[in-house]
A and B are shown apart, each in its own frame.
Chain A
Amino acid sequence: GEDVEQSLFLSVREGDSSVINCTYTDSSSTYLYWYKQEPGAGLQLLTYIFSNMDMKQDQRLTVLLNKKDKHLSLRIADTQTGDSAIYFCAETPESNSGYALNFGKGTSLLVTP
């Protein structure tokens, strides 16, 4: 099937904003997610957005959704070294029973002092 696309790497300086982009595949996805994976750990749900929204803000995190272009982005304000991790975008197409998510390959964020 089609892939959820993300850029593989992003490097930013501490204190700058980070923007991680994702292009998803299925316009029927009602929820879109961002997960964070720290080294040696499982994935942790960061935030999600419902498809009838175009923006969601949660403290330092801002999610933007362009449903027409099937484009999702995650902005991290005032990025800290503790934000260094892999970030995964995920969709839930209505065609997937059992609510199985389709994940992108992940974006490795490196935050340098």
Chain B
Amino acid sequence: NAGVTQTPKFQVLKTGQSMTLQCAQDMNHNSMYWYRQDPGMGLRLIYYSASEGTTDKGEVPNGYNVSRLNKREFSLRLESAAPSQTSVYFCASSLRDRGNGYTFGSGTRLTVV
């Protein structure tokens, strides 16, 4: 079982470049999420998709866009990367039943120079 797969694992971008972080889950989960993790800040929600066809902003959406391509895939796009977006990005998914919690991917470490 793959669970939640994120690609790439590492990326270095120059300021102003764009890129898309990919996320796919094979657990038939309904909801998917993108978080960023920064030292001393914990995890902050960027965007989420409660179900296929819907997306909503989280706590820190500025500078990002998302696409819920189908039930399995939820991508995060940086249109014009900035150094403030240097972070570790985690994708997660969950069933509608909250008791199952989230399943997390292993993260993408992004550096913007």
Residues of A within 8 A of B (CB): 1, 30-31, 33, 35, 40-45, 48, 50, 88, 90, 92, 97-101, 103-106
Question: Separation in Å of the A66 CB from the closest CB of chain B?
Answer: 20
B31's partner among A44, A98, A104, A106 (CB-CB below 8 A) is A98
Q: A42-B90, A42-B107, A88-B43 are in contact. Are A101 and B102 (CB under 8 A)?
A: yes
CA distance A24 to B42 in the complex (A): 14
A interface, over-half SS:
mixed
A99 and B99 in contact, given A42-B104, A43-B90, A104-B42 (Cβ under 8 angstroms) = no
Give 1 or 0 for each of B19-60: 1 = CB within 8 Å of chain A CB: 000000000000101010000111101001110000010110
Q: What is the size, in residues, of chain B's interface with A at 8 Å between Cβ atoms?
A: 28
A106 to chain B, nearest CB (A): 6
Given contacts A97-B56, A100-B58, contact A43 B50 (CB under 8 A): no
B56 / chain A contacts, CB cutoff of 8 Å: 97-98
Nearest CB on B from A50, distance (A): 7
Measured CB to CB, the closest approach of chain A to B21, in angstroms, equals 14
Residues of B62-110 contacting chain A, CB below 8 A: 90, 92, 94, 96, 98-99, 101-107
Interface residues of B (CB under 8 A from A): 4, 31, 33, 35, 40-43, 45, 48-50, 56, 58-59, 90, 92, 94, 96, 98-99, 101-107
**Chain A positions within 8 Å of B58 at CB level:** 100
In the assembled complex, the Cα of A58 lies from the Cα of B77 at a distance in Å of 39
Q: A42-B90, A43-B90, A88-B43 are in contact. Are A97 and B102 (CB under 8 A)?
A: no
